């Protein structure tokens, strides 16, 4: 008899209680696809007809979305390809609490409409008291676009040639700004721009002066740039894009600009990212003079760039809650990292894996603190482990250096060390 005739019908497999439960959790299309794949395996003779339901259950994803959580062992604290800043437990809980109906734009006391996201805005204002007002949009590029549209559409933005940067994936600051209808007035040279260059360019058509922190590269040697205080007397707003989202000075990164310092130095508006060194969700932060923030907030484009309740909840929890993971990783104790790497490598070596703890250098990433290295420690493995670790559950992503795979523990929370051990043992075919 043709065994293919014994493969159970789809409706019969879907009636399995485990798959019925999964259908309510993941959706019927996802479950049906898993059943179809299992039936095809049975028709090819890879599994028996009686194993179809079990194979379908085993193949079900953990979540309805295709995104998979990974262990970031790259040593890059803000890894853009891995979603930038990991959220704190408090931020995740806040998002879950806000996932249903929430008072995002409603005053429960009066029963009337309220300012949208007022809790998050109050938390942001509290983190940067120097700012007269604040606003939040969906990312830093959106914040720049909103400012350019509200303050300089049809007018000029004066900017140094050395700050016409590309921000990743082919997107460039000049293209972003001119898409708003503003014109760029480039001043200075790639390596040197003085306050006089700005002063000579400012005129009746100037919407504002823009300073962009070159966060993803460095120019060394014969260089020079104008500081914010030198630009405050030109009669036009000074806008500073600091990029990485520090609210105040960070002793670990003394050269990285922060919102408080820029505003106290005379910046009228500061734009920044929420999902980099701030450690929160993807968001664009706009801070500074009340009248300018209000012009941006009331511009029609602001509606298209506004954030949802989940972002507002996560941002507020990040600002009010415990130290987020990015800052924990930034301030991780070096001696502790060395001890952890030795312990993980020792556990693996006991199981016969070629593993050893080694010194390492981590980086901020996400366009922040270019050239700054953070002393770290890693578990060194043969590079053949890279692919199976990325395909494991959970996937573990490291980096290759000198023919070895390094799992840098500065970006791995201590409680995930056990997951790293389990993943490597599984990739090596060793039972933990």
Share of the chain above pLDDT 90, in %: 84
- The model's pLDDT over 239-251, given as tens digits with 9 standing for 90+, comes to 999 988 899 999 9
Burial of 74 (0-12, 13-18, 19+ CB in 10 A): buried
Q: Is the pLDDT of residue 171 over 80?
A: no
Q: Is the pLDDT of residue 41 over 60?
A: yes
Q: Is the pLDDT of residue 190 over 60?
A: yes
Instruction: Say what the pLDDT of residue 359 is.
Output: 97
Instruction: Say what the pLDDT of residue 3 is.
Output: 67
DSSP 184: E
CATH number for position 147: 3.40.640.10
Residue pair 276/256 in contact by the 8 Å Cβ criterion? no
CATH number for position 402: 3.90.1150.180
Query: Could you tell me if residue 432 is inside a domain?
Result: no
Model confidence band, residue 369 (pLDDT cutoffs 50, 70, 90) = confident
Do 311 and 342 reside in the same domain of the chain? no
Predicted model pTM: 0.91
Do 256 and 297 reside in the same domain of the chain? yes
Instruction: Give the residue, 192 or 358, on which the prediction is more confident.
Output: 358
Query: Could you tell me if residue 77 is inside a domain?
Result: yes
Q: Structurally, how many domains does the chain consist of?
A: 3
Query: Could you tell me if residue 65 is inside a domain?
Result: no
Q: What is the mean pLDDT of residues 316-331?
A: 97
Do 148 and 181 reside in the same domain of the chain? yes
The mean pLDDT of the chain is: 93
Query: Could you tell me if residue 413 is inside a domain?
Result: yes
Q: Is the pLDDT of residue 396 over 90?
A: yes
3-state secondary structure of 381: strand
Which residues share a beta bridge with 241?
212, 271
Model confidence band, residue 219 (pLDDT cutoffs 50, 70, 90) = low
3-state secondary structure of 82: helix
Residue pair 209/242 in contact by the 8 Å Cβ criterion? no
Model confidence band, residue 168 (pLDDT cutoffs 50, 70, 90) = low
Instruction: Say what the pLDDT of residue 33 is.
Output: 94
Do 154 and 55 reside in the same domain of the chain? no
Residue 156: both structure tokens together: 């000029």
Do 243 and 281 reside in the same domain of the chain? yes
Share of the chain above pLDDT 70, in %: 96
Among 321, 338, 360, which residue terminates a domain? 321
Instruction: Say what the pLDDT of residue 314 is.
Output: 98
Using CA atoms, how far apart are residues 171 and 212, in angstroms rounded to an integer?
A: 14
Nearest to 86 by CA among 69, 61, 68, 98: 69
Do 99 and 210 reside in the same domain of the chain? yes
Using CA atoms, how far apart are residues 188 and 167, in angstroms rounded to an integer?
A: 21
Residue pair 78/87 in contact by the 8 Å Cβ criterion? no
Among 276, 295, 321, which residue terminates a domain? 321
Query: Could you tell me if residue 66 is inside a domain?
Result: no
- The model's pLDDT over 285-316, given as tens digits with 9 standing for 90+, comes to 999 999 999 999 999 999 999 999 999 999 99
- The least confident of 88-97, 209-218, 262-271 is 209-218
- The model's pLDDT over 134-153, given as tens digits with 9 standing for 90+, comes to 999 999 999 999 999 999 99
Q: Is the pLDDT of residue 10 over 70?
A: yes
For helices 52-59 and 17-26, give the axis angle rounded to 10 degrees: 30
Model confidence band, residue 368 (pLDDT cutoffs 50, 70, 90) = confident
Instruction: Say what the pLDDT of residue 215 is.
Output: 59
Instruction: Say what the pLDDT of residue 432 is.
Output: 54
Classify strands 284-288 and 269-273 as parallel, antiparallel or unpaired. Answer: antiparallel
Instruction: Say what the pLDDT of residue 62 is.
Output: 86
Do 159 and 304 reside in the same domain of the chain? yes
Query: Could you tell me if residue 64 is inside a domain?
Result: no
Do 96 and 164 reside in the same domain of the chain? yes
Using CA atoms, how far apart are residues 146 and 91, in angstroms rounded to an integer?
A: 26
- The model's pLDDT over 403-425, given as tens digits with 9 standing for 90+, comes to 999 999 999 999 999 999 999 99
Q: Which residues contact 349 (CB under 8 A, 6 or more apart)?
A: 355, 356
Residue pair 412/325 in contact by the 8 Å Cβ criterion? no
Instruction: Say what the pLDDT of residue 357 is.
Output: 97
Do 159 and 226 reside in the same domain of the chain? yes
CA–CA distances in Å: residue 408 to residues 67, 341, 355: 23, 8, 13
Do 165 and 250 reside in the same domain of the chain? yes
Nearest to 341 by CA among 266, 259, 392, 414: 414
Residue 28: both structure tokens together: 């019927």
Do 390 and 250 reside in the same domain of the chain? no
Do 256 and 291 reside in the same domain of the chain? yes
Q: What is the mean pLDDT of residues 31-56?
A: 94
Instruction: Say what the pLDDT of residue 294 is.
Output: 98
Model confidence band, residue 115 (pLDDT cutoffs 50, 70, 90) = very high
Query: Could you tell me if residue 137 is inside a domain?
Result: yes
Question: 262 lies in which domain range?
Answer: 89-321
Among 301, 321, 341, which residue terminates a domain? 321
């Amino acid at each position: 008899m043709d065994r293919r005739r014994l493969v159970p019908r789809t409706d019969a497999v879907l009636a399995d209680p485990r798959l019925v439960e999964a259908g309510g959790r993941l959706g019927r299309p996802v479950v049906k696809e898993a059943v179809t794949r299992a039936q095809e395996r049975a028709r090819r003779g890879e599994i028996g007809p009686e194993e179809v339901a079990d194979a379908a259950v085993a193949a079900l994803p953990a979540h309805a979305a295709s995104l998979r959580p990974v262990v970031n062992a790259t040593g890059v604290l803000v890894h853009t390809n891995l979603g930038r800043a990991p959220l704190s437990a408090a931020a995740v809980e806040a998002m879950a609490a806000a996932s249903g109906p929430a008072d995002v734009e409603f005053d429960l006391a009066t029963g009337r409409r309220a300012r949208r996201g007022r809790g998050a805005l109050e938390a942001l204002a509290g983190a940067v008291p120097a700012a007269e007002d604040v606003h939040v949009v969906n990312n830093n590029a959106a914040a720049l676009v909103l400012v350019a549209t509200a303050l300089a559409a049809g007018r000029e933005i004066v900017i140094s040639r050395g700050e016409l940067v590309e921000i990743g994936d082919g997107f460039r600051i000049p293209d972003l700004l001119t898409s708003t209808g503003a014109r760029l007035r480039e001043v200075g040279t790639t390596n040197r721009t003085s306050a006089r260059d700005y002063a000579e360019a400012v005129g009746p058509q100037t919407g504002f002066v823009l300073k962009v922190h070159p966060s993803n590269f460095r120019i060394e040697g014969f260089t020079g740039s104008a500081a914010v205080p030198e630009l405050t007397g030109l009669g036009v707003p000074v806008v500073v894009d600091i990029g990485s989202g520090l609210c105040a000075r960070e002793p670990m990164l003394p050269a990285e600009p922060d919102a408080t310092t820029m505003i106290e130095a005379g910046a009228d508006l500061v734009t920044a990212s929420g999902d980099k060194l701030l450690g929160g969700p993807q968001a664009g932060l706009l801070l500074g003079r009340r009248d300018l923030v209000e012009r941006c907030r009331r511009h029609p484009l602001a509606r298209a760039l506004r954030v949802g309740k989940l972002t507002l909840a996560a941002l507020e929890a990040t600002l009010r809650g415990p130290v987020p993971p990015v800052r924990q990783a930034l301030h991780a104790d070096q001696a502790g990292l060395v001890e952890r790497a030795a312990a993980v490598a020792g556990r693996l070596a006991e199981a016969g894996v070629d593993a050893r703890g080694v010194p390492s250098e981590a980086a901020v990433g996400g366009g922040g603190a270019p050239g700054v290295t953070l002393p770290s420690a890693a578990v060194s493995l043969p590079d053949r482990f890279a692919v199976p670790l990325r395909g494991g559950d959970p996937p573990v992503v490291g980096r290759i250096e000198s023919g070895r795979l390094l799992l840098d523990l500065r970006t791995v929370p201590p409680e995930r060390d056990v997951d790293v051990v389990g993943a490597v043992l599984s990739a090596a075919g060793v039972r933990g």
